[in-house]
Amino acid sequence: MSSNYVLKLYNKLEKYPFGNKLFSMFAARKAPYFQTISPVITKVVPGECHCLIKKKRAVENHIGTVHVIAICNGLEMAMGFMAEASIPKHLRWIPKGMQVDYTAKADSNIRCEAVLKDNHWEEGDLLVDINAYDENDVVVVKGHIKLWVSAKKSK
């Protein structure tokens, strides 16, 4: 599959100091709500995307851990950019739902990952695995996002 606009921009910017931050700022502007977690996309390849959420007061809950909704926001961002960087040109996607389990306290920076096994796209319901890890690689949230994948309408 040839590289698309997301991969081209990411690969171009990641070569520079703060390139991941620049890419992340542009990416978060696509869906402004993502800006609420100040994400940094650290990896984008076909079928996979990683997004870092720094633990800071703005994303903490009442017990001082990273709020699960902030983590879900990061997981959705990772999934969205994985999808945009990976989906074949003749298909389109839209999220249908998210299922998550909270498995441990999120008391450090959080790495959100979205992975589509074998980067295998097909029409219909498609599950994308999502996991969030703390700085010790402990899974703090795991689950999947269900996408509806369909063929683009011919023009």
- Domains within the chain, CATH numbers bracketed: 5-151 (3.10.129.10)
> Phi and psi for 65 in degrees, rounded to 5?
-105, 165
Amino acid code (one letter) for 57:
R
> Phi and psi for 118 in degrees, rounded to 5?
60, 15
pLDDT per position as a tens digit, 7-17 = 999 999 999 98
pLDDT per position as a tens digit, 54-80 = 999 999 999 999 999 999 999 999 999
pTM for the structure as a whole: 0.93
